[in-house]
Structures are given as C-alpha cells and as structure tokens.
Structure 1
Amino acid sequence: MEAAFKPQVNGELDTQNFMKFDEVESPDAARAGSGSSRKMLLTPKDLNFVGYTYKNFDAVKEGLRQSLSESMQDYASKRTTDETGLQMLASSGDPMLP
C-alpha cells in the first residue's frame, strides 16, 4: 500500500511540512517556573514553607530493615545449601576429599 501523501524533505532539520503556531506561554508554564515569577504567585501561607522539604525517616528505616532482613534470609539459605553440599561430598567416601 502506498502512502496518500509523501512530503518533500530537504534534510533532517527541515520543518516546512509542519504547521506554524504563534508562541504563547500557557498559565501553567509560568506557575511551574522558578525565580521571581514563581515567587509572585505564592500566597502568604506558601511563603512559610519556601525551602521546606519533608522525608518520613521512619518509613525509610522500615524499608531498610525489610531489605536487610530479606538479604540475611537469602544469605542464610544459600549458606545452608552450600554447607549441606559440602557435608554430602565429605560423606561420599571419596579418598581425594580431606
């Protein structure tokens, strides 16, 4: 099947086939900005919290505890499996084993 329209392109940066729009800044873009324009949009209540960040350290600690607990369980089960394998080799009666 052939395309209905094949545009003529004069290079990878050629934009002649795109529609042209006036550059208009949306109100959302101004609010998302930073600097003095953003400060003018802040209410007095917002100004009390400029530069404030929050992190729930209890949640972070809990996540670390769970991660460490899972890692230790994985290590313990792997170590038990390795020791069982060594015990089986040692009891096999192979004269080459110590």
Structure 2
Amino acid sequence: MMSLLDGNAIAGTLRSVFGKEMTTAVGTCATCGESSRLAELRVYLDAPGVVGRCANCESVLVVIVENRGIACVDVSGFAALDQPTPV
C-alpha cells in the first residue's frame, strides 16, 4: 500500500531540482484547473520515483525520478507553474 504525504515531504527534492524553495509555488492542474501551492500536492514516495498528484482530482502533476545522479522531471500535468511567493 502506498503512503500518502503532502508536498512538504518533497521540499528538499523540489529545492534540488528547481534551485529554490518551491512549496509556496502555485501550480494549476491541466486536468481540472485547480490552482494550489505545491505544499498541497498529494505525494507518493513508494512509486518508482516521486509522484505528485492534484489534491482536487488526483491527476498526476509531477513525476521526479533519479537515475545515476540525474533528476528526470516531468511537470506536464501542470497547465501553469508560478514562481514561489516570498516567505
């Protein structure tokens, strides 16, 4: 059974991929149009890599897989991904 976490569980991974704090960034789901902070993603770490799903419709928004030290990132589930807001 896969463990459900929120986007805060991958804060370090997001920082290493994007080079900045991303949990306050707002993403818009390409499927349902819901906009929310990445901290609100439904995150599964038990998949091959990290899977972040929309909290509203469960569509896959982001997949991050590391292979030989290289992070492969698919953000095609987002219609938009806005800059993080200052904390």
TM-score (norm 1): 0.16
**The structure with more strand, counted as a fraction of residues:** 2
> Structure with the greater relative contact order (CA < 8 A, sep ≥ 6): 1 or 2?
2
TM-score for both structures, normalised by structure 2: 0.18
Pick the structure with more helix per residue: 1
Higher gyration radius (CA): 1
